[in-house]
Structure 1
């Protein structure tokens, strides 16, 4: 399925909110050659810095975001959460949150699960990067709790999106990983002699456990592995590929 060369897709769960910028990029519309073709926005790849910079410029421009308003972190598959008080590039955090307008939070993905959260009551946002380690660490649930403690967020006023990531049928793991997941989120494939993990369902369950209503949670229908014509997949492309960004923030002119 081709998205007509769309640079990004907007999660429908946020459609009705003026002033909320939320998107996840595709692999279309950039300048990078294969194997990064074409909108590789991953700084920590072996693509040239010039290509990545131009791709990021194109993505942010298409969203009408100033690159100087963007916050990002070098992700480490942990459970640390940063309250963003100024744009910039940080290190060691896999979740970012803020209630400041014109601060656009980003997480970088290429199989791991991006989760975007908007608190419509307190006007706060969060972006979470949850690979299997972050999922096991319950980072999404911890982020909602941190938003409550910092901003007064009430989960019933939140809207969330579980973004495009590796699908269950493609995410093969050994028993040492599988044993860290509940039975609901894994199944054993006797032909492959591997367990298959459902990261989307596991993170959806954490949002529900945190108190966000199911009717206020959107889930991407796409897979990084099954739809590599539109998304980058670290696993499907043997590690030599680009990265996408998931982005969320609030515009000041709608405060």
Structure 2
């Protein structure tokens, strides 16, 4: 992953996705917004206690930077489950943690502050998916469910999917108690630290994805507070980043 400057913002990009001109994608970072402490500065979370006017301005800046209209945003409710929905129109989708589409112009989004955003791309169709994987969703198998949903909806072959895991809390910092650790096989927990990256990658490989087609940003949100919001680092009401993935609309992404 690299970071591209757009005005006062820095947008995270995966090189392989960036080279695919049929797609738009990005991951927000912390600098470049208008929110005050503790949401300084580019808080994009609409469910935080931040000033709604600041969040609105921040979101305007982000969507302008990624060159797609927020009116086309697809917003899952994110309840730490495994429900994945195929979408054909923008809007809010309650009780959903993943969205997939083959419709051009729709901006799939998930918001995070430690959880893993998983980008799924079928380059042959094209078709795309974006999944929110916290520890609960990961333990329930949402990453594998994303692969299965792409296969069922679009006939995607798991072995040809390109998959990307965005910035999220890493095994260096993700301390969990025995109740959480017990939901995972021992190999994914070292001491009291959980490796969500490797767990989700392995679940997708078991579903037929090829390891050489899976890229992990390996950027820990807790380790780098100057760049990312982290619920664990903040210990309370943290700001939120936004991941976005869209298929280019030939008539413009308005």
TM-score (ref. length: structure 1) = 0.93
2:104 equivalent in structure 1: 101
96-105 vs 151-160, which moves further: 151-160
Count of matched residue positions in the alignment of Structure 1 and Structure 2? 247
Q: Counterparts of 2:60 and 2:203 in 1: how far apart (Å)? A: 34
1:92 equivalent in structure 2: 95
Match status 1:235 vs 2:232: yes
Two-structure CA RMSD over aligned residues (Å): 1.6
**Off by >3 Å, runs of 4+ in structure 1:** 3-6
1:13 and 1:216 in contact (8 A); partners too:
no
Task: Give matches, 1:202-221, under 5 Å.
Answer: 202-221=199-218
List runs of 5+ in structure 1 lacking aligned partners: 189-194
**How big is the shift at 1:176?**
1.4
Q: Counterparts of 1:177 and 1:233 in 2: how far apart (Å)? A: 19
Q: Counterparts of 1:208 and 1:64 in 2: how far apart (Å)? A: 33
Task: Give matches, 1:51-70, under 5 Å.
Answer: 51-70=54-73
1:13 and 1:217 in contact (8 A); partners too:
no
Q: Counterparts of 1:26 and 1:154 in 2: how far apart (Å)? A: 32
List runs of 5+ in structure 2 lacking aligned partners: none
60-69 vs 166-175, which moves further: 166-175
2:194 equivalent in structure 1: 197
1:44 equivalent in structure 2: 47
Q: Deviations over 1:1-35 (max 9, x none)?
A: xx676431111231331121121110111111111
Of 160, 171, 189 in structure 1, the residue corresponding to residue 174 of structure 2 is 171
